[in-house]
Structure 1
């Protein structure tokens, strides 16, 4: 199967977008043995902070790479342990601000976390540092970087974690993508965020026509996140209302049957990864089922149409 570049996006924040990007990306790479590249386009860089913590990295804007020893407290074991922290200056800023004399390269833009998982890290304050950058240059950055360095030949999946706002970063992500996936919660205003997103996607494609030829962006569907097994009557009602809403039905948006389950550790442990933990017995099978439905959806969109 050819590489798929997929934006994880919603115009409403707090819907589990970053968590879903991280957990699906890690599962596909470590459990299902795919080569996965994650790109953190969200200026909040939560994806970067989480994976840096999990893999022993710390971001830096002026030091390319150095190792320092940090004494950390292992709260579960009640002991003291040593952990090597690698400080890296690799970030997405190189892709957006690269020039002819100082071009973006895989070496200054991509951090290989292990054999199967890599990340283009985000950078705090990127809005300020790129404030004078031509918008067209910024919006073409990811597309050109993927193309120039033949990343589609190196990875099976490229996931882009997008900001929850309509900006040049959103456009940059969508222009580089083959498809987009919508994480959402069963909340009263979810439909508004999805409605706005569908309009944004249409607008970006109309304004940047050549980038979406011969195929327009595919909508992979909606995944409900942070779902509890004992959902309240109100939550179940909102879920059904969302599923049957005119917007979803008329737009022919696929609704995932598997919902991403609530997990307390995700909110309290920044370096938490479901497939690296034994703390939650329901999350692993839930994630595995979700990944299989995701792959089935990919197969349906590209191979059965």
Structure 2
């Protein structure tokens, strides 16, 4: 059975995309799944959290072993995989050049979709950590994906960006990927004691109700995520009893159900 490909996307920065990718991947690994995470952000946050320091990333970049070389150049993606649980295709700052260098006779939005095919028998799930922009990198990820998870911080500025992301997803559906599904919106960095957060969460649910998009229960704001990043581990692994963190298992179960429905 071929891998289910999931984009973790939101054009707003600081909403927990990388944290969500790391912890969803961990939940899927704990469920016995073969998982690959792809760092599609030139800031390389996912790669660094995975344990690759900047010097190691420079070494990988110098030898053509980062995502840039698979997306823009001729390196096969399966040759870039760093095996693990989950496995990783890392990114470097060089990926910022991809916007101007992507070339394909079939359209630049479909480059990743064509190249990722070689990985789909090797894994059960491929999670793509998207950059905080609605750029060609994000559009390529959405075009290659079966579904998208949308982390969203519970504040009004983050919520205001959701309609634009929904519009982008609809455009991708119409033009390149009719089967793209929205798994749901995952509220992050939630402060249960703050009235603003509760109001923002209510507003988020109201804003997508007409589209029948699921809004999951929120993941609480906590220092455990920063502590886990320092250890190059998922918070779900190190602090499984922290309030709200079990939501990653809930979302992961939705992904498992989606994967099963594709048989």
Q: Please indicate the TM-score interval, normalised by the length of the shorter structure.
A: 0.7 to 0.9
Quote the residue 2:210 is aligned against: 250
1:141 to 111, 123, 128: 111
Quote the residue 1:110 is aligned against: 81
Distance, in Å, in 1 between the alignment partners of 2:212 and 2:199 is 20
- Contact map agreement 2:36 2:127 (CA 8 A) in 1: yes
Quote the residue 1:69 is aligned against: none
- Contact map agreement 1:220 1:298 (CA 8 A) in 2: no
Aligned residue for 1:154, secondary structure, equals coil
- Contact map agreement 2:147 2:180 (CA 8 A) in 1: yes
Give the superposition deviation at 1:300.
6.4
- Contact map agreement 1:8 1:183 (CA 8 A) in 2: yes
Identify, as 1 or 2, the structure richer in strand.
Answer: 1
- Contact map agreement 1:20 1:183 (CA 8 A) in 2: yes
Does residue 282 of structure 1 match 2:254? Answer: no
RMSD: 2.8
Distance, in Å, in 2 between the alignment partners of 1:119 and 1:195 is 31
Distance, in Å, in 1 between the alignment partners of 2:175 and 2:240 is 46
- Contact map agreement 2:173 2:179 (CA 8 A) in 1: yes
Aligned residue for 1:201, secondary structure, equals helix
Structure 2 unmatched runs, 5+: none
Aligned residue for 1:253, secondary structure, equals coil
Distance, in Å, in 2 between the alignment partners of 1:158 and 1:224 is 22
Quote the residue 1:153 is aligned against: 121
1:120 to 85, 89, 103: 89
Quote the residue 1:39 is aligned against: 38
Distance, in Å, in 2 between the alignment partners of 1:130 and 1:206 is 22
Distance, in Å, in 2 between the alignment partners of 1:220 and 1:235 is 22
Structure 1 unmatched runs, 5+: 65-88
- Contact map agreement 2:236 2:246 (CA 8 A) in 1: no
**What does residue range 168-187 of structure 1 map to in structure 2 within 5 Å?**
168-187=136-155
TM-score normalised per structure 1: 0.75
Quote the residue 2:14 is aligned against: 14
Quote the residue 1:296 is aligned against: 254
Quote the residue 1:93 is aligned against: 68
Distance, in Å, in 1 between the alignment partners of 2:199 and 2:67 is 41
Give the superposition deviation at 1:272.
4.3
Quote the residue 1:4 is aligned against: 4
Aligned residue for 1:165, secondary structure, equals coil
